[in-house]
Amino acid sequence: MPPPRATLLQVAQRAGVSRSTASFVLTGRHVDMRISEDARQRVLRAAQEFDYRPNLMARSLRTKVTRTIALVSDTIAADPYAGRAVHGSLAAAVAHGHLLLIGETEGDPRIEERLISDFIDRQVDAFVYASMVTRQVRVPGLLHGHPVVLLNCLTGAHRPTHHAVVPDELAAGHAAATVVLDAGHHSGIYLVGRPADQVFAGRERMTGIAAGLAAAGARLAGTIECDWWPDPAYDAVLGALTGGLRPHVLICLNDRIALGAYQALRAAGCAIPGDVSVVSFDDSELAAWLRPPLTSIALPHYQLGRRAVELLLGPPSEPAVTRVPMPVRRRASIGRR
């Protein structure tokens, strides 16, 4: 059997102070309570000698603070990017002395309600409400009255009611245009994908691309429309090429589209980047695996998760939307004109 757990009273007696003084020292309140440095050091030495660890359950019952937070997301296990967001959230939680609990709803409102109810019953202190696809959401009614930060989603309200952390897709679109322009391309630039207005990433990326090109007096020559997957991208790009299209640059709305575009360009006998340059978004593992490696604007999953928890556990502030920068990963798919 493990040895009995040392008590706060034992620590206080060894240090020659009262139990409340030992508690103030070990919870970091010695400055407020004007406890001498000598007494503080005696308490810390006694705690180390006893290998004292506070009884968190007893403390939570007394203070109603459990130092736990819950991340509730629609998708975690099946999403290849979710691990990075969870890792960032976990790193920030640990840095603030909190435990992170994780729940996946699978997009089912009934599962979501049960999960949130269970977390509330366990008296978690606060919530990160997350989506693995950037979109507008309605914050569940069960979370009203609890501290909440939205991760990779927005409420759509004119005035934010909660902090929300999202990737800066608008600036990412502008950055993609800048990469193309810096390489000397001012014409023959085509978008590949379907920038539907209801898709946050597509709408923001498209707006940023158009603004970036317009600032240099350039514009898109056209759009090769397709769904955001390799097969439809391959069919659409190959069809355009066999129909006589001769692009200088393809700006693909994500890396899966870029994979299909790469295959179509090769099938049509076009060299990358000698004949056609390609730039994309997301910086998935595909980007580094492709040959030549693909220039892509990275989704900052780790930074999104970390920032959400930092806002959740940081000083109170007016709710706002925080846009996290998306870094450019420059690789060999862009050639100079």
- Give me the pLDDT at residue 129, please: 95
What's the alpha-carbon Rg for the chain, to the nearest Å? 26
Write the CATH number for 143.
3.40.50.2300
Do 239 and 138 lie in one domain? The reply is no
Q: What is the pLDDT along the chain (337 residues), one digit of tens a residue?
A: 556 777 878 888 888 988 888 877 776 665 556 788 888 889 888 888 877 766 544 554 454 556 889 999 987 655 667 788 989 999 999 888 888 999 988 888 999 999 999 988 888 889 999 998 888 899 999 999 899 999 999 987 778 889 999 999 999 999 999 999 999 999 999 999 998 777 888 999 999 999 999 999 999 999 999 999 999 999 999 999 999 999 999 999 999 999 999 999 999 999 999 999 999 999 999 999 999 999 999 999 999 999 999 999 988 899 999 999 999 999 999 999 8
Q: Respond yes or no on whether the N-terminal peptide bond of residue 315 is cis (omega within 30° of 0).
A: no
- Domain presence at residue 337: no
Do 108 and 141 lie in one domain? The reply is yes
Do 202 and 278 lie in one domain? The reply is yes
- Summarize the chain as % helix, strand, coil (round to 5): 40, 20, 40
Question: What pairing do the DSSP bridges indicate for beta strands 249-252 and 277-282?
Answer: parallel
Number of structural domains (the chain) is 3
- Domain presence at residue 330: no
State the CB neighbour count (10 A cutoff) for residue 285: 10
263 within 8 A of 231, measured Cβ to Cβ: no
- Domain presence at residue 59: no
Fill in the amino acid letter for 179: V
Longest pairwise C-alpha distance within the chain: 89
Distance CA 272, CA 333 (A): 6
Question: Among 147, 196, 179, which residue's Cα sits nearest to residue 334?
Answer: 179
- Domain presence at residue 336: no
Do 73 and 146 lie in one domain? The reply is yes
- Give me the pLDDT at residue 9, please: 83
Q: What is the pTM (predicted TM-score) of this model?
A: 0.79
- Give me the pLDDT at residue 10, please: 85
Do 176 and 280 lie in one domain? The reply is yes
- Give me the pLDDT at residue 61, please: 43
- Give me the pLDDT at residue 169, please: 96
Question: Among 294, 293, 335, which residue's Cα sits nearest to residue 183?
Answer: 335
Domain region containing 212: 169-299
How many residues would you count in the chain?
Answer: 337
Q: Residues near 110 by Cβ (< 8 Å), separated by ≥ 6?
A: none
Do 36 and 76 lie in one domain? The reply is no
Q: Residues near 6 by Cβ (< 8 Å), separated by ≥ 6?
A: 50, 51, 52, 53
Do 97 and 178 lie in one domain? The reply is no
Angle (CA) 314-318-324 rounded to 5° is: 70
Do 176 and 153 lie in one domain? The reply is no
- Give me the pLDDT at residue 274, please: 94
Give the E-state strand segments of the chain in sequence order.
Answer: 68-73, 99-104, 126-136, 148-154, 163-167, 189-192, 222-224, 249-252, 277-282, 295-298, 321-324, 328-329
Fill in the amino acid letter for 26: L
Do 94 and 186 lie in one domain? The reply is no
- Give me the pLDDT at residue 144, please: 92
- Give me the pLDDT at residue 3, please: 62
Beta-ladder partners of 192:
224, 252
Do 178 and 150 lie in one domain? The reply is no
